[in-house]
Amino acid sequence: MSTEMGCWVRLCLSVLYFSLSSVIVDADNGDYEVPIPSTLDGPFKPVTVPLDQTFRGNAMDLPHTDPLLQTTAQGFQPQQISLSLSSSHHSVSISWITGEFQIGDNIEPLDPKSVASLVRYGRFRRSMSHRATGYSLVYSQLYPFEGLQNYTSGIIHHVRLTGLRPNTLYQYQCGDPSLSAMSDVHYFRTMPVSSPKSYPNRIAVVGDLGLTYNTTSTVDHIISNHPDLILLVGDVTYANLYLTNGTGADSYSSAFPDTPIHETYQPRWDYWGRYMQPLISSVPIMVIEGNHDIELQAENQTFVAYSSRFAFPSEESGSSSTLYYSFNAGGIHFIMLGSYALYDKSGDQYMWLERDLASVDREVTPWLVATWHAPWYSTYKAHYREAECMRVEMEDLLYKYGVDIVFNGHVHAYERSNRVYNYTLDPCGPVYITVGDGGNREKMAIKHADEPGECPEPSTTPDPFMGGFCAFNFTSGPAAGNFCWDRQPDYSAFRESSFGHGILEVKNETHALWIWHRNQDFYGSAGDEIYIVRQPQNCPPFKPAT
């Protein structure tokens, strides 16, 4: 992105947004308004949009020589600058990298203490008189096999700003002033105060993003929709589709079946950070891990790049892990769950989740939104019922506390459910939305498990990292005795195979507008849109005994 584009993004943060409330249609007898449907009109009959043959094919990765993946930083000037939220509106974290990564046989990590971690900041059009310091680190991706190249990162800095005003535009610079290595001035707007009357204007939701030409289309669409916040529901860079020598493939397991360990090419993380900087240096991004972010290395370490490169409000939200945490954005409480962390009822994540849900005051944050990577309710053949054990363990808890919306990725397509609980239509169940269509290098999901001959063999469905087998045949309902439905399931309201992203606009304590945008459409067009309506009078959220 150009500097002009980056400036335009920052300016957009201070404007008011216009939300569609109806669509004008040209009919034979004149124009008329078609109101956007709401969940109160459901449950809806299942809809499958036929595949658009003009927008198909594998997504191609941007080559490392692309100018968008290069850095203009000199010496120890900051690069890959990003912004993330803390647990509440009065705090944010600024992250960046100084120095260059190293990859090869004989690498010497940089000294994190050699460069300071400092942010100058202040309210927009005022002096940046405030100072905050943080910490820095360097991580390595190591392979104990001859011929595989090891990696060590540049110096990663994280600085947390506190005492911020709600819904206020700030400006900042980051870096080390003693080395004359400060960034340009960047801007961000804090979240509104947590209240049933205040919400971010627009929240972009995207999954399985990667760094392809389709990714650039998705990101351009996101920018055009002027989000205040971005949720990335797993699978960030797809660096694990590359060998350590930089050779890539659409499918690692099929292209490199004999590698001694599943390698990754860590510079793809650096390229991704450089490409995304013009957007996420001004718009906070909240990330949860996906399977492509596992990145196993020496001593069985996992998720090292993911955990090192982003700042997470884990500690502030009572979590002991970067793989699950929570935060508030206005009157919304977000729960970010880990599909690839232990989720059984005796584990730390489940116990943390129960504590977190019990602490939510729905009088302050009426909306409860949960995200994790691997979906529970997806009707595509790819990853069908893969996360069933997680659903069996956690679904009752989410239903009990009245979660309103669930966002997932993993399946490279789009799908929206009717309100559902335990595979049964339920007016008090969440709406599940799969948005694993951000633009990754792997193929788009097209086949559905309910189509003739496409139901997968049950033994092939469990994810080896998640572990366990819980996806037994259905015991009741239209699919009783079978592993798959023989038609699009009742819980599936709308599905389409296409790249894109979604925008969530919470209007008040009961109504939220959800719009899914396809990459092949004009920026303002909606591929799917619906008002998600809470009914606290009919589905009162559980309140624990005091």
d(CA 18, CA 6): 21
Bond before 452 cis per omega within 30 degrees:
no
Beta strands in 412-545 (DSSP E): 414-417, 420-421, 424-425, 431-435, 492-496, 500-506, 511-518, 528-533
Distance from chain centroid for Cα 44: 27
Residue type, 188: F
Residue type, 146: E
Question: Is residue 230 within 8 Å of residue 204, measured between CB atoms?
Answer: yes
Question: Is residue 204 within 8 Å of residue 222, measured between CB atoms?
Answer: yes
Candidates 136, 82, 86; CA nearest to 109 is: 136
> Active-site residues: which are they?
383
Candidates 228, 186, 239, 177; CA nearest to 204 is: 228
Candidates 541, 359, 390; CA nearest to 462 is: 390
Question: Is residue 281 within 8 Å of residue 227, measured between CB atoms?
Answer: no
Candidates 338, 349, 353; CA nearest to 303 is: 338
Question: Is residue 491 within 8 Å of residue 417, measured between CB atoms?
Answer: yes
In degrees, to the nearest 5, what angle opens at C-alpha 283 toward C-alphas 279 and 288? Answer: 95
